[in-house]
Chains A and B, each alone.
Chain A
Amino acid sequence: GAVVSQHPSWVICKSGTSVKIECRSLDFQATTMFWYRQFPKQSLMLMATSNEGSKATYEQGVEKDKFLINHASLTLSTLTVTSAHPEDSSFYICSARRQGGSEQYFGPGTRLTVT
């Protein structure tokens, strides 16, 4: 149990376009979901925390108008990268946590390449 999926697994888009990444908890209800970004040979950096039905909390330095997060249901959160630029190219990983739970279950990641 506790499987988290992401879609797409990889995406290539042109500079200036927007890209939506989905994160789903397949067999549990996730009251909290997290979005991370990981550049090559670096660690995971938290971008934002989202709780179902409320606005996401963004980490310092992360532009909320550029990285739109929606957590409309207990099994789905989306991250939209708006007006993408080559420097947004990265590996985006989500994780999900049950209500009252301690463990975060990670998705397989989405490789975004902006040309």
Chain B
Amino acid sequence: GESVGLHLPTLSVQEGDNSIINCAYSNSASDYFIWYKQESGKGPQFIIDIRSNMDKRQGQRVTVLLNKTVKHLSLQIAATQPGDSAVYFCAEQAYPGSARQLTFGSGTQLTVLP
């Protein structure tokens, strides 16, 4: 029979506004965190990463913030564009290149309104 899927958290923003997508992680041993963007029917696309010895890292139009105290990660997208509409996943890993695999969060559906 058909399985019932979970409903992804959703975030709708006006074009040009800033977006903030949040993620909570559970493993205090995780040392490396990555944000991925996944468009419909495609594989995940790397956006930005951060190691646990940092609390902020900036890329082009994106910023990742890490709060290890509360095990919280956020992705900020500046001047959100229609092409930013996608599902965004955070992922954690014990340390870069670890044999331990990436563990993905549940994802957030970002919709950019015209």
> B45 touching A41 by the CB < 8 A rule?
no
The CA-CA distance from A97 to B101 in the complex, in Å, is 11
The CA-CA distance from A109 to B89 in the complex, in Å, is 16
A65 at the interface (CB under 8 A from B): no
DSSP class of B's interface residues: helix, strand, loop or mixed?
A: loop
Interface residues on A, range: 20 to 34
> B43 touching A108 by the CB < 8 A rule?
yes
Interface residues on B, range: 20 to 34
The CA-CA distance from A44 to B5 in the complex, in Å, is 13
A-B contact count (CB 8 A): 58
Closest to A59 in B: B101
B104 at the interface (CB under 8 A from A): yes
Known: A93-B43, A102-B32, A109-B43. A44 touches B104 (CB 8 A): yes
Q: Show the binding face of B for A, using Cβ within 8 Å.
A: 3, 5-8, 32, 34, 36, 41-46, 49, 89, 96-97, 99, 101-107
Q: List 29 A-B contacts (CB under 8 A).
A: A4-B43, A32-B99, A34-B101, A34-B102, A39-B3, A41-B5, A42-B6, A42-B106, A42-B107, A43-B89, A43-B106, A43-B107, A44-B89, A44-B104, A45-B104, A46-B102, A93-B44, A95-B43, A97-B97, A100-B97, A103-B49, A106-B36, A106-B43, A106-B44, A106-B45, A107-B43, A108-B43, A109-B41, A109-B42
